[in-house]
A and B are shown apart, each in its own frame.
Chain A
């Protein structure tokens, strides 16, 4: 069965620090890849997605992610975090043999200290 693994359960950073959240998936076929974010008290919202083309994708609020097919990875990065980035981040995979179903990782909680 397909699965998504996020390397860190909880990350604590100071403002202006750089961020990298790891995400690996297990599936050998064509995939769409997503990062969703859930700010405290708010619903899940799309941060960025990859479906084809340039493996480096840029999202909202200065986030970017790189798809490395050979490593089955889709890591999320931001060069300088802000206190307002405090949230839970979910990596998700959509495979074409499962009719649009999103498979989520377990999430990474990011806490940014002011």
Chain B
């Protein structure tokens, strides 16, 4: 069964440093999502791509976060500089269409970030 791949699985960094996370969606999936999950809470959408275009980045803190999906396949999420409050699990998900009725999002294992 195809899965969403993410790396690294764990990342420890010091505040003010830059970090980057990578996601490879299920092959053929046009829509890619980045979510942030703070401990004890549900995931919250940071950014949504349809192919290489950003569809929704309204919750992305653009002063420090950036995301790209240059060829419409894999994606990178970057934080620069990292702050203590960025400590969380960063989840990537993909779906084949995005907003089709009943569309399911498939999640990767996540990257757990700890900022010291």
- Chain A residues with CB under 8 Å of chain B are 4, 32, 34, 36, 42-46, 49, 51-52, 90, 92, 94, 96, 98-102, 104-107
Contacts and interface: CB of A to CB of B under 8 A. Distances in A.
A43 B44 CA distance: 15
B108 A43 contact: yes
A34 B104 CA distance: 9
Nearest to B38: A106
Given A43-B108, A44-B107, A102 B43 contact: yes
Size range of the chain B interface in the assembly: 20 to 34
B56 A98 contact: yes
Nearest to A6: B42
B41 A101 contact: no
B2 interface: no
Contact of A51 (B45, B98, B101): B101
Contacts of A104: 42-44
Given A100-B48, A100-B98, A43 B107 contact: yes
B13 interface: no
A83 B45 CA distance: 31
A105 B45 CA distance: 12
